[in-house]
Amino acid sequence: MYKYESLVIVLKKYWVTLLFIAVILLLCFINPPKVPRLSMTNFDKLVHSLMFFGLSGSVFFDGSFHLKQKVGGWSIFGGSFLFPVLFGSGIEIAQEYLTVARRGDWMDFLYDVIGVCCGCLGCLLINRKIY
């Protein structure tokens, strides 16, 4: 019973992050529909940056909101930087080796990291001003 109680606590604490993870997984693994071409080149790279910017921020805000205090620099690094970067690399590897409709693209991963870096910088700046 104890294991289930801790799972419920994690689900309550990180529900926004888990929602981001679910949306990112859905967008990265569904078969892409035929959509008209946009005039903006590399629109998908912008989407990757925004998704991982959001993921980085959600990890930070979920953690800092429940701690009700400033978060240490290492916690921001581990949660808001390291986790999303590892998650993004895992997605690209899984797309390359586990799907037939999608291909891993290391430029997508680069833009994931750019989004994470921007998210972490925002987290660091906000962390200095809260509580």
Residue 110 domain boundaries: 2-28+44-129
Rounded Cα gap, residues 78 and 70, in angstroms? 15
Q: In percent, how much of the chain has pLDDT > 90? A: 40
Main-chain dihedrals φ then ψ at residue 85, nearest 5 degrees: -65, -45
In a domain, 33, yes or no: no
In a domain, 100, yes or no: yes
In a domain, 103, yes or no: yes
Q: Which residue has the higher pLDDT, 70 or 89?
A: 89
In a domain, 35, yes or no: no
Give this prediction's pTM.
0.83
Q: Per-residue confidence at 17, pLDDT binned at 50, 70, 90? A: very high
Query: How many domains are contained in the chain?
Result: 1
Residue 42 backbone class (left: φ over 0; alpha: ψ -120 to 50; beta: rest): left
In a domain, 36, yes or no: no
In a domain, 39, yes or no: no
Residue 47 carries which side chain, given as an amino acid letter? Answer: V
Residue 1 scores a pLDDT above 70: no
In a domain, 79, yes or no: yes
Q: Per-residue confidence at 79, pLDDT binned at 50, 70, 90? A: confident
In a domain, 70, yes or no: yes
As a whole number of Å, the CA-based R_g of the chain is 16
Rounded Cα gap, residues 131 and 119, in angstroms? 19
Whether the CA torsion 33, 27, 116, 107 is positive or negative: it is: negative
Q: What is the pLDDT of residue 3?
A: 63
